[in-house]
Structure 1
């Protein structure tokens, strides 16, 4: 009987349809950098609330300098000094100027600022009580930042779903926000399955291997925006597996296991979900990562990944990462894809879609993007994934690609939404 393999896109749709954004939490604006806002942010005042100087210089009435030139300079009396945080309360009249610093409010009566470097000080130190000379006209608005140049009171300065950049944290602060609401990091429970596994710090005996998947999956979950929680290694024992999975389901928003998903004698995980919850799929037309179980257990999404490290990595990238990002409130769910030219031939006889570990580089002479597969696609190896910056995507059906063919690569080194 032939295996029932579902297309990757169908699997992704099923997973995404069974996760929802997490509850809202309120955090300081600086901690929101890199996260999408959960609600629109509205300015409570004009930003900036007053017209201010764009540089150090002298606040002037442009009409006083309309005829100024090298041959006929104009001399003005300095009647005050204004720095950021200090307001000159009087009005500048004809023949008068105020020494002003960057960011200080432009005094009443002034409509331009002349930078300090092109003004001659005739007597005094250039501050209040001095006389200064101007040899060129000043345009209305010159070196003046207008009031409400950034936003007016009541304007939406950042939309819900927009990812806060470091500069955006400053914008939110200017709009009156000390804290903002975001979706909480989903708690993702990670469990490694297999009697052969020992902790990374232990020396494995014959027939044992170190548990590498938990470290990789925890790192991937953290990178995707989750709060990973490791529940340990479960031996090939149905009761032990059930106990850990049940605990994780109670305490987490999403549960991921690696191992026990390939229909072997000790692969209990799919049977557990089928018996106590609902299995929505257990095979995908993809390599590596064909044997992946997804379902619901206790109303929580559950993803059972292969024990092969590269297969677990690709399965997480294609299914868990988009789900976690949706739970965190991100709009963009997939890594950027770009086209590159193969440096060698690639043959594929199987029907499944392949995601081969590869490296894409730009030819320094031609500027062309070139992609080269890792020498081995052994799914037990993580080193090739560490050194790869992309996955060479080869769609369903047999093919015989040649050097020079243009192919699609998934850029796993770039965040979602990157414009290439």
Structure 2
């Protein structure tokens, strides 16, 4: 079987990963989903002229000449806390005490901050008069209605992830509900009779099940709703029974099955044995990528879940998820453009590594910034070997080394000082560990 280019495999995946249906949700329930429709401003921000300071609302003409040498005394006729609906009249020689955020009285055009008066204690009882010690500029400390957004202005575009900040912004422009795409529901199935629950004492031949945690965490980071996590022994019949049970769960049935292990050439490959028939809808391929050459992808039936079969070695699963599964989940969530498949940037290699030759290399990396530009190093001293699970904790990105660029020095290595493409994952840079 010839090797499938990475770009061709990704194109096939994205051709199946259509955005999920939309629904209208209250803002609080929409957190973590992506907008399916543009949102425009229904309420100006701010909705009213209001005070940016604790102080006194005045008519500028009354205080235009105020100074310490020639203070201006005004009669205080009202008190306005934030949220008050009152609009007190202000005549010549009068002022209204006003708190930050309170709506500016219609007769006022300027705010004198407390510190520029003889009444600078905001907790003091309302006084009958106030002395202005410094002339303000006309309109000083007034927030004008609509200066951030006016009615009809764009507020957020379709495809935007509804974060806390986005939800707050949409609330401020008058949105109480928004149209969003459903979040993709994902089931994670880690195969392998050798896997045991993390923390369990190991018998000979056993290893901790790290893939379940790895893929669950990656799916949730991509915005998916993980509805099931299952450990499946090397038994294709049991795998098929679990899949059928997941598919029967109605509106909690998964849109995507992510399986780890069982996709290669060994004698005990439950995923390949369960879905290897030509009519299963799942195609098993060898992709020109290191790590992660064996891949499976397809759809169960015309309207069934997408199936990703990833290699079982944790680094291979991590790489495969980022290259193929994450873009699919983002596209299904309604993400667009570079949000689906981020364009790489470049970084200077700090520590070199060996390349495989003949396949695109995807190397888990530690990426950081220096004044003269970004740097990167492999998270594992042994490079991108697929079993180096413990080193993944140090990765906040990955390097991309195309097959055609791997032997520029004639020794099959990337050298310190080389410049390579890198994709950052938007993760916190973990503290550095000594490599071993």
Tell whether the structures are fold-level matches, with TM greater than 0.5.
yes
User: In the TM superposition, what is the alpha-carbon distance from 1:135 to its structure 2 partner?
Assistant: 3.7
User: In the TM superposition, what is the alpha-carbon distance from 1:177 to its structure 2 partner?
Assistant: 3.2
User: In the TM superposition, what is the alpha-carbon distance from 1:11 to its structure 2 partner?
Assistant: 1.2
CA distance, structure 2, for counterparts of residue 208 and residue 78 of structure 1: 81
Deviations 1:124-148 (A, max 9, x none): x987662322244333221111122
Partner of 1:255: 257
Deviations 1:161-192 (A, max 9, x none): 22334333223223333443322221112222
Does the CA-based 8 Å contact 2:40-2:156 persist in structure 1?
Answer: yes
Please give the residue correspondences for 1:270-289 in structure 2 after superposition, counting only pairs within 5 Å.
270=272, 272-280=275-283, 282-289=285-292
1:375 aligns with 2:397: no
Say how many residue pairs are matched: 409
User: In the TM superposition, what is the alpha-carbon distance from 1:66 to its structure 2 partner?
Assistant: 2.7
Deviations 1:345-365 (A, max 9, x none): 4443521011123323445xx
Does the CA-based 8 Å contact 2:117-2:134 persist in structure 1?
Answer: no
CA distance, structure 2, for counterparts of residue 82 and residue 118 of structure 1: 18
Extract unaligned runs of 5+ from structure 2. 429-436
Partner of 1:226: 224
Does the CA-based 8 Å contact 1:80-1:88 persist in structure 2?
Answer: no
Q: Which moved more, 1:51-60 or 1:87-96?
A: 87-96
Deviations 1:182-204 (A, max 9, x none): 22221112222233333435444
Partner of 2:308: 303
Calculate the TM-score normalised by the size of structure 2: 0.84
Does the CA-based 8 Å contact 1:390-1:410 persist in structure 2?
Answer: yes
Task: Name the SS of the counterpart of 1:182 in structure 2.
Answer: strand
Please give the residue correspondences for 1:195-214 in structure 2 after superposition, counting only pairs within 5 Å.
195-200=193-198, 202-214=200-212
CA distance, structure 2, for counterparts of residue 168 and residue 361 of structure 1: 27
1:38 aligns with 2:41: no
Partner of 2:333: 328
User: In the TM superposition, what is the alpha-carbon distance from 1:115 to its structure 2 partner?
Assistant: 0.6
CA distance, structure 2, for counterparts of residue 349 and residue 147 of structure 1: 61
Task: Name the SS of the counterpart of 2:321 in structure 1.
Answer: helix
> Match for 2:71 among 51, 61, 73?
73
CA distance, structure 1, for counterparts of residue 132 and residue 285 of structure 2: 80
Q: Which moved more, 1:260-269 or 1:270-279?
A: 270-279
CA distance, structure 1, for counterparts of residue 88 and residue 196 of structure 2: 78
**Structure 1 residues 81, 5: closer, same or farther in 2, change over 3 A?**
same
Calculate the TM-score normalised by the size of structure 1: 0.87
Does the CA-based 8 Å contact 1:78-1:97 persist in structure 2?
Answer: yes
Please give the residue correspondences for 1:392-407 in structure 2 after superposition, counting only pairs within 5 Å.
392-397=399-404, 398-399=406-407, 400=409, 401-407=414-420
Partner of 1:294: 297
Task: Name the SS of the counterpart of 1:276 in structure 2.
Answer: coil
Q: Which moved more, 1:323-332 or 1:88-97?
A: 88-97
Please give the residue correspondences for 1:143-222 in structure 2 after superposition, counting only pairs within 5 Å.
143-200=141-198, 202-222=200-220
